[in-house]
């Protein structure tokens, strides 16, 4: 059974299509600085001929490396970050959090199996009235529950919500801190940043994952003729609470529709159980998944619309997103820094500069001049280094055998 066949129908409130465009990221000055740095680097590169052998990277041998590899030393021998107390505290806190929660993966699934067993024992001991045993099991359950980050996140959020409704702000704050500690151990909330996946015949594309509250938003950094860059490719609702606020009089309360556009109306999705072979490959018996919406469009972003989707968490380094009705699933992996730079550069990073039949006149608006200069640089670079297939070797692309991994 493929995932897609496995899916039961779930319905979202699609108020989303309206709100979606407000998530489109703004151009920021940071990106421009980044861009000019890349180009400064490339100007010193005389030519780019020949196949590039794997570089034996040393900074002194830099100029003898083929152009494509010359950028690599930038990532070697970086100085260690200066000591920073704030940072150290954060690292300590993260280590502490990791110690109190079961690690995502089989650790967590085993813990949940144990909790299920104990719950069953508890029910049967309640039925037979063996009281000693009962308190023992209750205690075990209590301890186990405190080690499940997803459960703790959900319960702590609910507690915080409850405390707030009763005006107990101190206690709400404590619950929120507990919630954040648990959240920081959940991989579905640690996916920020750049990912690369193969969009069928469009080839490899880069996306940028950000969060608005507990809604994950994946924006295209490189696009295609259907869904261009800058548009949302998919989003997923990761909020653990299913509070139906559709009849709620106060729309400003937390968890109301306004704060979670992809409001869940159904039970959470069951994890995907992997076959033994797949489990060995991914190092986990099951994959958790979350409801979402995937964007599709006809050429030129016409008739763009969202359809049901699922975000599937594979582990630290991978996830996938499935466009359910069209049975399309894309795997995403982290690009290497070199590949990220290359794709960013080829995409022009920000908006597509205009097409110029002839150079703008000297009196033209400065923005037009800038666009022209940018476009020239982009074209030069497109010629200079095509993104070769080898660049993607670091990314698992999902082979023909995908299907059987998720049986």
Ligand X SMILES: *[C@@H]1O[C@H](CO)[C@@H](O)[C@H](O)[C@H]1NC(C)=O
List interacting residues with ligand X (CB under 6 A).
Answer: 25, 28, 31, 84, 86-87, 208, 210, 221, 344
Nearest-angstrom CA–CA distance, 242 and 248: 13
Q: Could you give the CA distance from residue 221 to residue 45 in angstroms, rounded to a whole number? A: 26
Taking CA atoms, 283 is separated from 104, 230, 311, 404, in Å, by: 11, 34, 18, 16
Residue owning tokens 């490396």: 65
Nearer to ligand X, 84 or 124 (CB): 84
Give least dist CB 192 to ligand X, A: 7
- At closest approach, how far in Å is the CB of 25 from ligand X? 5
Nearer to ligand X, 86 or 252 (CB): 86
Supply the minimum distance, in Å, between the C-beta of residue 87 and ligand X: 5
- Residue 72, token pair as written in the block: 């690599």
- In the complex, what is the shortest distance from the CB of residue 233 to ligand X, in angstroms, rounded to a whole number? 13
Could you say which DSSP state residue 395 is in?
S
Longest dimension (CA), the chain: 92
The number of beta carbons lying within 10 Å of the beta carbon of residue 369 is 15
Q: Which is nearer to ligand X, 85 or 132 (CB)?
A: 85
The CB-of-211 to ligand X minimum distance in angstroms stands at: 9
Is the CA virtual torsion 341, 347, 351, 353 positive or negative? positive
Who contacts 254 (Cβ-Cβ below 8 Å, separation ≥6)?
161, 164
Question: Which of 74, 402 has the CB closer to ligand X?
Answer: 74
Least Å from the CB of residue 202 to ligand X: 19
Distances 109 to 87, 103, 138, 286, 297 between C-alpha atoms, Å:
31, 9, 19, 8, 38
Q: Which is nearer to ligand X, 88 or 165 (CB)?
A: 88
Q: Which is nearer to ligand X, 27 or 280 (CB)?
A: 27
């Amino acid at each position: 059974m493929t995932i897609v066949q496995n899916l039961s129908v779930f319905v979202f409130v699609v108020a989303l299509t309206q709100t979606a465009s407000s998530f489109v990221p703004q151009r920021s000055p940071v990106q421009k600085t980044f861009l000019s740095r890349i180009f400064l680097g490339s100007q010193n590169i005389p030519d780019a001929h020949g196949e590039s052998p794997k570089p034996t990277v040393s900074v002194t041998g830099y100029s003898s490396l083929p152009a494509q590899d010359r950028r690599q030393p930038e990532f070697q021998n970086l100085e260690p970050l200066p000591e920073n107390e704030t940072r150290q505290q954060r690292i300590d806190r993260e280590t502490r959090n990791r110690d109190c929660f079961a690690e995502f993966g089989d650790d967590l699934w085993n813990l949940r199996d144990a909790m299920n067993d104990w719950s069953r024992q508890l029910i049967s001991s309640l039925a037979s009235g063996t009281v000693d045993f009962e308190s023992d099991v209750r205690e075990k359950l209590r301890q186990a529950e405190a080690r499940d980050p997803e459960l703790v996140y959900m319960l702590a959020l609910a507690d915080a919500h409850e405390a707030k409704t009763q005006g107990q702000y101190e206690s709400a704050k404590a619950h929120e801190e507990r919630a954040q500690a648990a959240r920081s151990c959940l991989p579905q909330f640690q996916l920020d940043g750049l990912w690369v996946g193969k969009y069928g015949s469009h080839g490899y594309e880069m996306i940028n994952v950000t969060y608005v509250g507990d809604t994950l938003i994946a924006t295209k950094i490189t696009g295609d003729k259907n869904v261009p860059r800058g548009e949302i490719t998919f989003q997923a609702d990761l909020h653990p609470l299913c509070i139906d606020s559709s009849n709620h009089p106060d729309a400003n309360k937390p968890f109301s529709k306004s704060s979670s556009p992809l409001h869940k109306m159904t039970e959470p999705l069951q994890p995907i159980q992997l076959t033994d072979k797949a489990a060995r490959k991914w190092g986990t018996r099951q994959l958790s998944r979350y409801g979402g919406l995937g964007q599709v469009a006809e050429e030129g972003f016409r008739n763009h619309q969202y359809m049901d989707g699922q975000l599937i968490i594979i582990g630290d380094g991978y996830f996938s997103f499935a466009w359910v009705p069209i049975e399309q699933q894309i795997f995403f992996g982290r690009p290497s820094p070199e590949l990220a730079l290359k794709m960013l550069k080829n995409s022009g990073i920000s908006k597509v500069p205009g097409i110029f039949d002839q150079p703008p006149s000297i009196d033209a608006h400065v923005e037009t001049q800038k666009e022209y200069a940018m476009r020239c640089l982009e074209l030069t670079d497109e010629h200079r280094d095509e993104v070769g297939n080898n660049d993607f070797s670091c990314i698992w692309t999902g082979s023909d055998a995908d299907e059987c991994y998720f049986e």
